[in-house]
């Protein structure tokens, strides 16, 4: 039985879209069978039956290594190939073309709709045992490719060795390669619809990658990892992040802490887990937030230009090491939030850009498909398979790595078609508007699915506009996020604290305006990495003051205002001890500053603010509701004083801020009689202040004030925030 010249040419030129039609075992009409194989470099091949041990030499049809053997009157399904190569070596191997597809018709249907929510268990590389043979199955979506092969060390990166089959009209290509195991490096070699020269792509679903410049994916097995965080995970299912204290320490793993004794090397995932857990427990943070831990090629992108949406970056260890870090943090009672970037991806040709020779993951029209600000590409959210890819990425981080939340980056850029574009540079939606309808539906879908499969996980939006309903439930027409960064409050506060105290009275509204929209969303009060880069200076460097002591006093006041204002908290690393230098992604934080009382005092203040906030959890439970807050003093711009009450479940805080250097005596209304504890005073010597205050507390008097039946007369040191606390009698 001979192949036609066209069929033979298609096989040896690796242009056949379904090589399984001709390679492998095929029955003949007379009850016999024919076996064909393509083994580049082989000079002789035998078919060896496993049941009988019989060996049958194969005929060489082409010098590239195409062989055939007709076995009339025989039916065999179990065989191996014994090959002799031109260097004299021999190998016995399983034939990859004798195995059935590893993806079913039902799988293809769901994948095509973008509705396979565990797509990462189908596409990419999967360790499998088929017909008693261990190996790795590979599958990739490349609908416009004319040929796809899997290449790697195992076939000398030869695209002729393992061409994959196209599974109908699904656009998915698949092959099972027997004998491969964990650690095998691989890529996909594709020929595009308009190309003659093959090109290489990394696996979009890869779990582990080698470093630049090669970027090969590495077969990985996570199944053997033993988690020890069952108590944490079970408790998380019962938690609502909106009603729990959430104090987040934002971290860039490469620059948090390095090892100077070893040339400034970065810490590995396992070291980071141990050290971050100890540090967060010491300072009272409830969560760490990792700037994108996903695989990325360029250190200077800080992880925000992702090429491996399913893979923890290789820089700090393996995926198993990443899991160990998360497990360690969970066992210490610290949650893990990761920054997730579905808004865009880089143009690096080895990754998603023009993946199959066409604009597959991105829009072809640059008015839809390019981010002008960042030089990146925008996902085509209207394509089912692209949505499925991104949904799978989100769910993979939660299922595989036990992550407790996703902080979704650059949501505003997803919501608006005219984001950072001039007239004529964007295309309106089908209704003539500027909203990206497909992106909005995608965000609703991913938030709904995360909450369905992983109760207790927090979805957090970095959204810088006034788009309505970001944290409203999907069923009520919202986007479905749990929380949203409060960018307006952050900008107003920083603008206020930049002002010389002499002129703050003219900017008093910056302190109060945020309450006009505070209850429109479920907010996180955040000072993130974005505020300490690109020439913006450090957080303490933004503070008004001619000397370090004054700047530190302002910083302590700002942090106390952040922690006592209703809403969850996020603080970028280094801000908790007042690092003066702007953050550098390629160097460690300036930990030596903690040798100085001024910086150690800021750190102690953050720890005490966290203990107050987490310890008074009843206030955090109620902090996203308007009844938890009431102004006491809003209109004293002349003295730059504000005061407010926080109350919930029989517990109250009275918070007063004096943002001039002049000490003041002030009477504040309180709801109950008794001795009000001075729980926080940012001017305490313990925090590096002058030590002025109220000797630990004040006794309430039966003097009505500000609508309350009682009042306290308090001492407000200059440039300070003081918090008084009392439980109801």
What amino acid positions are annotated as catalytic residues?
A: 409, 462
Q: How many C-beta atoms surround the C-beta of residue 704 within 10 A?
A: 11
Task: Tokens for 156, please give them.
Answer: 């000398």
Q: In what order do the strands lie in the sheet with 133-141?
A: 124-130, 133-141, 172-178, 165-166
Residues facing 670 on adjacent strands: 710
Residue 104 tokens read as 């079913």
The phi-psi region of residue 496 (left if phi > 0; otherwise alpha if psi is between -120 and 50; otherwise beta) is alpha
On whether the CB atoms of residues 142 and 190 are closer than 8 A, the answer is yes
Joined together, the tokens standing for residue 631 give 């102004």
Q: Please count the other Cβ atoms lying within 10 Å of the Cβ belonging to residue 86.
A: 10
Q: What pairing do the DSSP bridges indicate for beta strands 172-178 and 147-152?
A: unpaired
Of 302, 385, 400, 401, the closest CA to residue 346 belongs to 302
Whole-angstrom Cα distance, residue 330 to residue 337? 12
**Spatial CB neighbours of 568, under 8 Å, sequence gap ≥ 6:** 241, 245, 246, 247, 248, 483, 523, 524, 525, 623
Cβ neighbours, 10 Å, residue 578: 30
Helix runs in 350-415, H state only: 366-369, 384-401, 411-415
Up-side HSE of residue 21: CA atoms within 13 Å toward CB? 14
* 3-state class (DSSP) for residue 265: strand
E strands, 254-300, in order: 258-259, 265-266, 287-290, 294-295
Point out which residues pair with 266 in neighbouring strands. Answer: 258
Q: Is 282 helix (H, G, I), strand (E, B) or coil?
A: helix
Joined together, the tokens standing for residue 461 give 């939006």
Q: Which two tokens stand for residue 247?
A: 């104090």
In this structure, the dihedral spanned by the alpha carbons of residues 556, 559, 563 and 568, taken in order and rounded to 10 degrees, is -170
């Amino acid at each position: 039985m001979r192949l036609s010249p066209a069929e033979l040419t298609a096989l040896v030129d690796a242009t056949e879209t379904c090589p399984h039609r001709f390679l492998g075992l095929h029955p003949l009409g007379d009850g016999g069978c024919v076996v064909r194989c393509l083994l580049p470099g082989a000079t002789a091949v035998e078919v060896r039956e496993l049941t009988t041990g019989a060996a049958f030499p194969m005929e060489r049809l082409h010098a590239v290594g195409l062989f055939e053997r007709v076995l009339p009157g025989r039916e065999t399904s179990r065989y191996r190939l014994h090959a002799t190569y031109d260097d004299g070596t021999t190998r016995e191997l399983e034939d990859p073309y004798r195995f059935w597809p590893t993806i079913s018709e039902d799988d293809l249907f769901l994948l095509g709709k973008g509705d396979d929510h565990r797509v990462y268990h189908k596409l990419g590389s999967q360790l499998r045992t088929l017909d008693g043979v261990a190996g790795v199955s590979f599958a990739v979506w490349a609908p416009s490719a004319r040929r796809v092969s899997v290449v790697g060390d195992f076939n000398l990166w030869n695209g002729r060795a393992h061409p994959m089959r196209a599974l109908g009209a699904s656009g998915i290509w698949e092959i099972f390669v027997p004998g491969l195991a964990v650690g095998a490096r691989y890529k996909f070699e594709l020929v595009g619809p308009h190309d003659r020269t093959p090109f290489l792509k990394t696996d979009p679903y890869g779990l582990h990658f080698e470093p630049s410049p090669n970027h090969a994916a590495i077969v990985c097995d996570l199944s053997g990892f033993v988690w020890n965080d069952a108590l944490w995970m079970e408790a998380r299912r019962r938690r609502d992040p909106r009603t729990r204290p959430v104090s987040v320490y934002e971290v860039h793993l490469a620059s948090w802490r390095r090892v100077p004794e070893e040339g400034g090397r970065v810490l590995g995932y396992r070291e980071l887990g141990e050290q971050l857990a100890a540090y967060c427990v010491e300072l009272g943070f409830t969560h760490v937030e990792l700037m994108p831990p996903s695989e990325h090629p360029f250190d200077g992108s800080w992880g925000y230009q992702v090429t491996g949406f399913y893979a923890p970056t290789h820089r700090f260890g393996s995926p198993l090491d990443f899991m160990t870090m998360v497990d360690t943090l969970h066992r210490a009672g610290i949650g893990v939030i990761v920054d997730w970037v579905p808004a865009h991806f880089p143009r690096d040709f080895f990754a998603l850009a023009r993946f199959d020779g066409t604009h597959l993951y991105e829009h072809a029209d640059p008015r839809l498909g390019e981010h002008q600000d960042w030089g990146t590409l925008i996902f085509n959210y209207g394509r089912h398979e692209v949505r499925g890819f991104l949904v799978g990425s989100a769910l993979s981080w939660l299922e595989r790595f036990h992550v407790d939340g996703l902080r979704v980056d650059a949501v505003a850029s997803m919501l608006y078609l005219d984001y950072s574009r001039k007239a004529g540079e964007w295309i309106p939606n089908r209704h003539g508007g500027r909203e990206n309808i497909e992106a909005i539906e995608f965000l609703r879908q991913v938030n709904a699915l995360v909450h369905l499969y992983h109760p207790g996980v927090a979805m957090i939006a970095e959204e810088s506009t006034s788009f309505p309903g970001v944290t409203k439930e999907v069923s009520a027409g919202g986007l479905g996020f749990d929380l949203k960064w409060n960018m307006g409050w952050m900008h107003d506060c920083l603008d206020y604290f930049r002002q010389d105290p002499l002129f703050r009275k003219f900017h008093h509204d910056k302190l109060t305006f945020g309450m006009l929209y505070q209850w429109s969303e479920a907010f996180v009060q955040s000072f993130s990495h974005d505020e300490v880069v690109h020439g913006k200076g450090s957080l303490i460097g933004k503070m008004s003051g001619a000397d370090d002591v004054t700047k530190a006093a302002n910083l302590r006041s700002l942090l106390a205002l952040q922690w006592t204002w209703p809403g969850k908290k996020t603080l970028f690393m280094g801000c908790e001890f007042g690092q003066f230098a702007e953050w550098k992604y390629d160097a460690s934080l300036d930990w030596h500053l903690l040798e100085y009382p001024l910086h150690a005092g800021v750190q102690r203040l953050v720890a005490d603010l966290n203990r107050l906030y987490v310890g008074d959890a009843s206030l955090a439970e109620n902090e996203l509701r308007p009844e938890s807050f009431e102004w006491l003093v809003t209109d004293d711009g002349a003295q730059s004083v504000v005061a407010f009450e926080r109350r919930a479940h029989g517990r109250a805080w009275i918070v007063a801020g004096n943002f001039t250097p002049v000490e003041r005596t002030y009477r504040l209304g309180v709801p109950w009689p008794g001795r009000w504890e001075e729980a926080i005073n940012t001017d305490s010597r313990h925090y590096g202040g002058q030590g002025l205050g109220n000797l630990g507390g004040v006794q309430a008097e039966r003097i009505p004030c500000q609508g309350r039946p009682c009042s306290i007369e308090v001492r407000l040191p200059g440039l300070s925030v003081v918090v008084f606390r009392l439980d109801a009698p």
